Amino acid sequence: MSNALPVVDKKFEPKDFKSDLKPIWCPGCGDFGVLQSLYRALAAIGRPAHEIAFVSGIGCSSRIPGYTTAYGFNTVHGRALPIAQGIKIANPSLLVLCAGGDGDGFSIGGGHVAHAVRRNIDLTYIVMDNQIYGLTKGQLSPTSPRGLKTVTSSLGSLEDPVNPLLYVLGYGASFVAQGTAADLPGLAAIIEEGIRFPGFAFINVQSPCVTYGEDEWQIKEQRARMKSLESLGHDPKDQLHAMDLARAYGKELYTGVFYRNPAPSPTYDQLVLERQKEKGASAPDPARVLDSLIQR
Amino acid sequence: MTTTRGIDFAHLSLKDALDLAVLVEEEAQERYDEFTHQMKTHDTPEAASFFAFMSRNEKKHGDELRARRLELFGDAPRSVERAMIFDIEAPDYDQARAFMSARQALTAALASETKAHAFFVAALPAIQDPKVKALFAELRDEEIEHQKLVQAELAKLPPSEDLGDAFADEPVAH
């Protein structure tokens, strides 16, 4: 049984997902483009805002749920994924989106990513990767390149960066893609595809920090060097080739879908529903579960 | 970066073309409104004031086109949608900077008008309907007029007072 999102006839406009709050990101920040692409993707998906839950962590990019008309939850640092998973399991009919920065996702919340991947809960995780902690004024982040000089690495970083693409592919994610704020139509299409994918979808977005980011990471430079995976002839069904391409993270800027499992496993939320049906009346009363644990 | 999605210029009707033109103006107006807010939030009043002026201009053009559409086609349903266009006349997000000067703001607007002109020039050869062709040629020429308007404003400014990105609050390694 597929739990892919149905294509809904009702037409939505991107502005239907735009809230009255105005973004306070620095002018020129890549996150403005990510937000625009998200509005477009949600309009194309065609689910009303009240059927969408949007969860984030802490950081500049984690402000994003507030700028949409979806139900939003700006949670605690690094804990967006556990909360998003809980929401999806408690209310599987919701479309659940999760977002944050590279620090939120791969440093503070790094341990959660692996478990979200292996559970394969049907949600879309968008990481706005800017290789720096921008909100706290420019410290080294988990995706900062080796040698980067920041306020916390004044002589240059001695560490290799986390490779978010290879990380999630290594844990067996079924949908892995990368977009950039330098290609908004392409990014909107990737987000839409990620949301439609029946399972955990990971989208890394190169969204530069205009204030603390390096010159060569900015949108203009990204526009000049980005290469679509489609133009390289990559087949998104080919997991091994996807991993090979993902190794170029930080050197090449590949955009598009690295890997899309052609036969995705049932999602955790789907399995929970099936088990609930199977157990039927014999299932314990949820209100009594906590009591029984405490008594033990 | 100007992009269109799913527009068949060869078979574009006059109604669709007018609707598309309205959407282009709406998109630009919204972006200038966003830029105005960004500049106000980041204490950049001169650029905010100029972007607000551009927003009013785009609204005026949009209203004129909307009136023509209503006169010719009334409230006939629209078959083109906003998702079909991306940044035709709207300035790119990375054109904005905290503490940008009036000159930088005007230069961003000029780049957008140039971009819009290039869009109409590129679309024209594919268009078959003579009325649509005439409309697009008119819009293309208007973009030239807009460019002249911005260039005239630029000429009024004193020589470059740009401080560049170095003025922004950047981290300093110790």
CATH number at residue A216: 3.40.50.970
The predicted pLDDT at position A2 comes to 45
Mean pLDDT computed over B7-24:
93
Is A148 a member of any domain? yes
- The answer on pLDDT for A112 being more than 80 is yes
| pLDDT average, residue stretch A150-174 | 97
Number of domains composing chain B = 1
Q: Enumerate the residues of chain A whose CB falls inside 8 A of the CB of residue B44.
A: 27
**Residue A1 placed within a domain:** no
Is the residue at B170 inside a domain? no
Chain B residues whose CB is inside 8 A of the A188 CB are 83, 86
Quick check: B98 and A40 CB within 8 A? no
Lowest mean pLDDT among A98-107, B79-88, B120-129: B79-88
Closest residue to B98, CB basis, from A22, A26, A36: A26
Residue B1: pLDDT band with limits 50, 70, 90: low
- Chain B CB contacts of A138 under 8 Å are 170-171
Please give the residue of chain B at the shortest CA–CA distance from A219. Answer: B94
Closest CA to A15 of A1, A31, A35: A35
The two three-digit tokens of residue B29, written as one number:
């107006």
Query: What is the pLDDT at residue A156?
Result: 96
How many structural domains is chain A composed of? 1
Residue A20 predicted with pLDDT over 80:
yes
Share of chain B above pLDDT 90, in %: 76
Query: B20 in a domain, yes or no?
Result: yes
CB atoms near residue B20 (< 10 Å): 27
Q: Which of A172, A160, A167 has the alpha carbon at shortest distance from A204?
A: A167
Whether residue A243 lies inside any domain: the answer is: yes
Q: Tell whether A218 lies on the interface with B, counting CB pairs under 8 A.
A: yes
List chain A residues with CB under 8 Å of B83: 14, 40, 43-44, 188
Q: Does A184 touch chain B (CB under 8 A)?
A: yes
Residue B84: closest C-alpha in chain A: A185
> Is B173 among the domain residues?
no
Question: What token pair was written down for B105?
Answer: 């703001």
Task: Using pLDDT thresholds of 50, 70 and 90, give the confidence band for residue A1.
Answer: very low
pLDDT class of B163 with cuts at 50, 70, 90: low
In a domain, B146, yes or no: yes
Pick the residue of B94, B97, B104, B119 with the most A CBs within 10 A to test the interface with A by mutation: B94
Nearest to B30 by CA among B87, B104, B110: B87
Query: Is the CB of residue A211 less than 8 Å away from at least one CB of chain B?
Result: yes
CA distances to B14, B68, B73, B77, B140 from B11, rounded to whole Å, are: 10, 20, 17, 17, 19
A94 within domain boundaries:
yes
Q: What is the mean pLDDT of chain A?
A: 93
Here the tokens at position B69 are 């559409």
Average pLDDT value over all residues in chain B: 90
Cβ contacts from A onto B, under 8 A: 80
Range of the domain at A51: 14-295
Chain A CB contacts of B3 under 8 Å are: 184-185
Say what the pLDDT of residue B159 is.
76
Q: In chain A, which residue ranges form alpha helices assigned H by DSSP?
A: 31-45, 80-90, 102-103, 110-119, 164-170, 184-196, 219-225, 239-246, 268-279, 286-295
Query: How far does B38 lie from chain A, in Å, by closest CA?
Result: 6
Q: Compare B162 and B94 and report the one with higher pLDDT.
A: B94
Q: Give the contacts of A253 (CB within 8 A, at least 6 positions apart).
A: A180, A206, A222, A225, A226, A227
Q: Rounded to whole angstroms, how far apart are CA atoms A191 and A179?
A: 9
Distance CA A50, CA A201 (A): 21
Task: Please determine, for residue A247, whether its predicted confidence score (pLDDT) is greater than 80.
Answer: yes
Structure tokens at B156: 């009024």
pLDDT at A10: 60
- Which one-letter amino acid corresponds to residue A154? S
Domain-located, residue A6: no
Residues of chain B contacting A13 with CB distance shorter than 8 Å:
81-82
pLDDT bucket at A138, cuts 50 / 70 / 90:
very high
pLDDT in tens, B25-52: 999 999 999 999 999 999 999 999 999 9
Mind listing the pLDDT tens digit for each residue in A42-91? 999 999 999 999 999 999 999 999 999 999 999 999 999 999 999 999 99
Contact B93 A181 (CB under 8 A): yes
Residue B134, in any domain of the structure: yes
Closest CA to B94 of A215, A191, A99: A215
> Tell me, what CATH number does B86's domain have?
1.20.1260.10
Whether A18 maps to a domain, the answer reads yes
Question: When comparing pLDDT for B8 and A195, which is higher?
Answer: A195
Which domain range does residue B106 map to? 11-160
**Residue contact A27–B97, C-beta within 8 A:** yes
**Residue B5, domain member (yes or no):** no
Chain B within 8 Å of A13 (Cβ-Cβ)? yes
- Does the structure show a pLDDT above 90 at A279? no
Q: How confident is the model at residue B147 (pLDDT cuts 50, 70, 90)?
A: very high
Whether residue B169 and residue A211 make contact (CB cut-off 8 A), yes or no, is yes
How far is the C-alpha of A236 from the C-alpha of A230, rounded, in Å? 9
Over residues A7-33, the mean pLDDT reads: 89
Structural domain includes residue B83 = yes
Residue A5, domain member (yes or no): no
Answer whether residue B161 shows pLDDT above 60.
no
Q: Show residues of chain A in contact with B33, CB under 8 Å.
A: none
- Distance (Å) from the alpha carbon of A248 to chain B's nearest alpha carbon: 25
Q: Decide if A219 is inside a domain.
A: yes
Question: A179-201, pLDDT tens digit by residue?
Answer: 999 999 999 999 999 999 999 99
CB of A192 within 8 Å of any CB in chain B? no
Contacts of A22 in chain B (CB under 8 A): 34, 37, 41
